[in-house]
Amino acid sequence: MHPAPSVIAFTTLSGLGFGLLFWLGLGLPPVTGWVAFVFFALAYALAVGGLLASVAHLANPKNAIKAFSQWRSSWLSREGIAAIAALLLMAVFASGIIFFDVRLRVVGVLGALLCLTTVFTTSMIYTQLKTVPRWNMWTTPPVFLLHALAGGALLAGQTRLAAVLLTVLGVLMVWAWIAGDEKGRAGSTMESATGLGRIGKVRLLEPPHSGENYLLKEMAYQVGRKHAVKLRVIALGLGIILPAALMLLLSVTHFIGFIAVLSHLVGIAAGRWLFFAEAEHVQALYYGR
């Protein structure tokens, strides 16, 4: 699948933002006043910035407002609604803490749950697609949720918690890579795609067009796959191992925290790039790819 920068920015940044909002909603760290303002400003910048980046992915954004209408059937629609609800509720909680020194616990917990719901709905947009077997696995939602929780814990300064969550995430990421490699295209072949398996082995003799088209650009992306091993090492080393190790140091200064966050961000962006680049769509079988 084509790794569109807007979608990678969206899933990584908004995941981090909603992760941080989750911990803030639970009162971790128990900040008030100006410090709280800085934390919430960062969380909102990430979450809203990510959401705005996703709008850049739309070819016809003037109809984006209609995306809130189909929550009965569409995970993308549910995501939009969950995101708005989470941001609004957390805004109430945040203004209580920042301006009135009041901690509305129930609102915070509800907002935190909505933040996780938002990340879950994002993950389901990918998980639901049977056409992309590497995404259509039980591991996809927990990987997205752990990305948000672990990254949020890093930003929220929850050092030990972040180390534990990062470790679990790392194990699950490796599991998902191996399981995804084994799954391949989940039994779909050029023979099943064309129904010509009853004659014999099928190959593409002539493509339907000599140039590129939307289908090839979007769903037969092949550049990332040859760098898969390197990108996995980067994702695991910078995204998980280095920040987790830094969080286990005896004293974690602001500077060390900053390095850990930066390393994590680069690592998960590489991992998310791979999440798209490595994913094979069954449609590409019609092009023999």
Partner 1 sequence: MTTLPQSTEKKLGLVIDLDTCVGCQACVVSCKEWNTSNYGAPLSDVDAYGAEPQGTFLNRVHSFEAQPETGCSQTVHFPKSCLHCEDAPCVTVCPTGASYKREEDGIVLVNEADCMGCGLCAWACPYGARELDEIFGVMKKCTLCVDRIYNENIPEEDRVPSCVRTCPAGARHFGDLGDPESDVSKLVTAREGMDLMPELGTKPVNKYLPPRLKDQSSDAALAPQHTNAKGLFAWLDKALEKL
CB of 189 to partner 1, least distance (A): 9
Q: Are 270 and 239 in contact (CB under 8 A)?
A: yes
Q: Which is nearer to partner 1, 44 or 286 (CB)?
A: 286
Residues in the chain: 289
**Gap between the terminal Cα atoms of the chain:** 12
CA distance 221 to 216: 7
Residue with tokens 């009965």: 72
**Considering the rule CB under 8 A, would residue 62 count as an interface residue with partner 1?**
yes
- C-alpha separations of 208 from 269, 281, 288 in Å: 35, 18, 12
Residue 67: what are its φ and ψ, rounded to 5°? -70, -10
CA distance 239 to 151: 9
Contact pick of 34, 63, 182, 253 for partner 1 (by CB under 8 A)? 63
CA distance 205 to 135: 30
Contact pick of 38, 105, 130, 160 for partner 1 (by CB under 8 A)? 130
CA distance 147 to 33: 28
Q: Within positions 176 to 195, which residues make up the interface with partner 1, using CB under 8 A?
A: 186-188, 190, 192-195
Q: What x/- string results for residues 73 through 92 when contact with partner 1 is judged by CB under 8 A?
A: xxxxx--x------------
Contact pick of 37, 44, 175, 286 for partner 1 (by CB under 8 A)? 286
Q: Within positions 196 to 215, which residues make up the interface with partner 1, using CB under 8 A?
A: 196, 198-209, 211-215
Q: Which is nearer to partner 1, 60 or 251 (CB)?
A: 60
Peptide bond into 29 cis (omega under 30): yes
**Considering the rule CB under 8 A, would residue 247 count as an interface residue with partner 1?**
no
CB of 70 to partner 1, least distance (A): 5
**Considering the rule CB under 8 A, would residue 282 count as an interface residue with partner 1?**
yes
Contact pick of 29, 30, 33, 69 for partner 1 (by CB under 8 A)? 69
Contact pick of 150, 155, 219, 235 for partner 1 (by CB under 8 A)? 219
Nearest to 260 by CA among 182, 169, 163: 163
Q: Which is nearer to partner 1, 149 or 219 (CB)?
A: 219
**Considering the rule CB under 8 A, would residue 5 count as an interface residue with partner 1?**
no
Q: Are 158 and 23 in contact (CB under 8 A)?
A: yes
Contact positions toward partner 1, by CB under 8 A?
A: 1, 57-64, 66-70, 72-77, 80, 125, 128-132, 186-188, 190, 192-196, 198-209, 211-215, 218-219, 281-283, 286-287
